[in-house]
Amino acid sequence: MSTFKAPKGTYDLIPPYSAKYLAVRDAISGPLRLSGYGYVETPGFEDVDLFARGVGESTDIVTKEMYTLTTKGGANLALRPEGTASVLRAALEANLHKAGGLPVKLWYSGSYYRYERPQKGRYRHFSQVGAEAIGAEDPALDAELIILADQAYRTLGLRNFRILLNSLGDKECRPVYREALQAFLRGLDLDEETVRRAEINPLRVLDDKRAEVQKQLVGAPMLRDYLCDACKAYHEEVRALITAAGVAFEDDEKLVRGLDYYTRTTFEFVHDGLGSQSAVGGGGRYDGLSEMIGGPALPSVGWALGVDRTVLALEAEGVELDIPPATSVFAVALGEAKPVLFGLVTELRKAGVAADISYGGKGLKGAMKDANRSGARFAIVAGDRDLAEGVVQLKDMESGEQGPVAVADVVGVLRTKLA
């Protein structure tokens, strides 16, 4: 055993459990790839100010949870706590918004880092798949992304999740609501930190999960009563498009999400089987973020879905993913047969068949234990006598049936059987 362990609040993904994560990533990204979203990958660390400006200085992410470092050259960097700001920065730096028609549609996958109190479903290192549609103000984009996430979850077999939906207004109507909410909050008995937050971004107080705060929020002014006509019309069109697609959602007037850059549409995917950490993903529209980080006006919308949380949701529902075995064919070479069987394994791999071979000079008994552990559907076994006759023994690991197959026919026979 190593003297080192993974840092507190992080995890290692180990086979075969890691196969679930790969399957979830593939299922989430599949609908995106079919809908015009191209893959983007960004560095694991960025300039601290990118997140301070974009995510918001009043958020827990910036004030408490970012991992920051100073380089030898004196630059202040942060491990990325979320993906949107990085992806938008990359798109602006590459001038993707000038390269052709808008929106620029991008998807990404990677690890993110927040210094939080570790608990089940909430880690300091976590994995997400995200999508961003940059440069267009259109309710159809908001609806599209919500529908694609719903499709991904249902493809995985998830059923017991809910979609929460709200509108946060825009720069025209939100300031009026902000003043009304701040006036209400000033009359409450709040701790010093929450009072400070209320002055910077009062909507964040609505997101406070503490019972003593939520109890005092009864009777707080609701944003829906302050939405301008344009925001009301926009939100109603988003709702109509989602409904027309047959996707169910719930209106949640207190849903604000944890990032300051959201405007208008905001949404969250929650799973009630996960306890207090019920959110499995979410997102919204962020029409002003590009300007916040020094770019031009580019109205945009996006989401991020937690791979870790999605895996936990699948386990909560008892959903078993249909994951192909890592090995379909396992070769057992006896005597001097290894070069021939190693060549067959190489041919099978080239033909798209997952194949492996016993290593370490094990005897028949030990090698067949390896074959059983691999989960292979078939085993090919050969010794000197078999090869002298130009055959290998093909064993069905499920039925136990075994018979000779000509060496020249092995690849074709296995491809047919596995098909």
Residue 258 clears pLDDT 90, i.e. is over it: no
Residue 373 pLDDT: 93
Q: Give the Cα separation of 326 and 354 in Å (integer).
A: 7
Q: Calculate mean pLDDT across residues 55-82.
A: 84
In which order are the strands placed within the sheet that holds 279-285? 38-39, 104-113, 125-134, 300-306, 279-285, 263-271, 161-167, 250-251
First to last CA, the chain: 41
Q: Are strands 329-333 and 355-357 parallel, antiparallel or unpaired?
A: parallel
Residue 58 pLDDT: 57
| Of 110-119, 251-260, 380-389, minimum mean pLDDT range | 251-260
Q: List, as one string, the DSSP characters of 209-248.
A: --HHHHHHTTTPPPGGGT--HHHHHHHHHHHHHHHHTT--
Question: Please, what's the largest Cα pairwise distance for the chain?
Answer: 92
Contacts of residue 216, defined as CB under 8 A and 6 or more positions apart, other chains included, come to 188, 189, 190
Q: Give the Cα separation of 171 and 173 in Å (integer).
A: 6
Residue 275 pLDDT: 77
pLDDT digits (tens, 9 = 90+) for 290-303: 999 999 999 999 99
Amino acid at 104: V
Domain 18-170+227-317 sits in CATH 3.30.930.10: yes
Tokens 């000038």 correspond to: 98
- Which two tokens mark 343? 């060549």
- Which two tokens mark 293? 């980080």
Contact (CB, 8 A) for 257 and 281: no
Contacts of residue 202, defined as CB under 8 A and 6 or more positions apart, other chains included, come to 178, 181, 182, 185
> Mean pLDDT score of the chain, rounded to an integer?
92
Q: Calculate mean pLDDT across residues 167-175.
A: 90
- Which two tokens mark 395? 């064993």
Neighbours of 210 (CB within 10 A): 10
Residue 259 pLDDT: 66
Residue 64: pLDDT band (50, 70, 90) is: confident
Contact (CB, 8 A) for 306 and 280: yes
DSSP 327: -
Q: Calculate mean pLDDT across residues 334-360.
A: 95
- Which two tokens mark 325? 């075995």
pTM recorded for the entire structure: 0.89
For CATH 3.30.930.10, list the domain ranges present in the chain.
18-170+227-317
Residue 5 pLDDT: 93
Q: Calculate mean pLDDT across residues 303-307.
A: 96
Cα separation values, 89 from 52, 290, 378, Å:
13, 8, 50
Q: Calculate mean pLDDT across residues 224-252.
A: 96
| Of 89-93, 117-121, 363-367, minimum mean pLDDT range | 117-121
Which segment, 14-28, 111-125, 192-206, is predicted with the most confidence on average? Answer: 14-28
Topology adopted by domain 329-418: Rossmann fold (3.40.50)
Q: Calculate mean pLDDT across residues 161-182.
A: 92
| Residues of the chain above pLDDT 90, percent | 74
Residue 165: pLDDT band (50, 70, 90) is: very high
For CATH 3.40.50.800, list the domain ranges present in the chain.
329-418
Residue 330: pLDDT band (50, 70, 90) is: very high
Residue 62: pLDDT band (50, 70, 90) is: confident
Residue 60 pLDDT: 67
Cα separation values, 186 from 179, 210, 213, 255, 259, Å:
11, 18, 13, 21, 22
Contacts of residue 16, defined as CB under 8 A and 6 or more positions apart, other chains included, come to 323, 326
| Residues of the chain above pLDDT 70, percent | 97
